[in-house]
Chains A and B, each alone.
Chain A
């Protein structure tokens, strides 16, 4: 069956522009996570969605970052007024329920010039 998909796979943007990153989780998975991975680093938690509950946004690094999940499925991570330090790989993962095994998407590599 289909795994987690993300788009675009690569995004190059200019400083100050807004970007939208998309994640399609595995069908039926209620939990969805966004992480950020800088070059050679581990995973930094950004945001967590569980069903129709209010998301846990505690990992978002600034108010330039926001995310939504429509209809309990597709999620979009938006970064406004991008900065060079936003350059990283953004990974999305979904799991059948909270705390269960996560399945990761291929990631979006964001480069801010």
Chain B
């Protein structure tokens, strides 16, 4: 069974702190996506990771991909309140040409002022 697991499911952190969200998946894949969802809103694309060792950074967020470990991380540096949202990772299983995204369970992040 294809599984994409995120942890933690809930994260409450103080402003200024660092933390990492983990995304583990059970199938072979070389494409992983991170999305952000604000309450009552749709999903917004954050990062597209297309190869082993890929690292992308945008502001206080940095995402990485280790396809051998089947693991992606989303690192938050010096969190601010505006980062409060739910974060989803999504995997497209290999082989190339596959199309069905498998979404993680989501991590609900709350940054406390």
Interchain CA distance A105-B101 in the complex, whole Å:
16
- The minimal Cβ–Cβ distance linking A12 to chain B, given in whole angstroms, is 16
Interface residues of B, CB < 8 Å — how many? 22
Majority DSSP secondary structure for residues of B touching A: loop
Q: How many A-B contacts at CB < 8 Å in the complex?
A: 46
Say whether A106 contacts B97, CB under 8 Å.
no
Say whether A45 contacts B100, CB under 8 Å.
yes
Most B CB contacts (10 A, CB to CB) among A48, A50, A99 go to A99
- The minimal Cβ–Cβ distance linking A72 to chain B, given in whole angstroms, is 16
- The minimal Cβ–Cβ distance linking A50 to chain B, given in whole angstroms, is 7
Say whether A99 contacts B33, CB under 8 Å.
no
Say whether B96 contacts A99, CB under 8 Å.
yes
Contact flag A106-B99 (CB < 8 Å), given A42-B104, A42-B105, A43-B88? no
Chain A positions within 8 Å of B98 at CB level: 98-99
Contact flag A103-B45 (CB < 8 Å), given A31-B99, A43-B88, A48-B99? yes
- The minimal Cβ–Cβ distance linking A43 to chain B, given in whole angstroms, is 4
> Residues of A with Cβ closer than 8 Å to B?
31, 33, 41-43, 45, 48, 50, 56, 91, 93, 98-99, 101-107
> Residues of B with Cβ closer than 8 Å to A?
31, 33, 35, 41-45, 48, 88, 90, 92, 96-101, 103-106
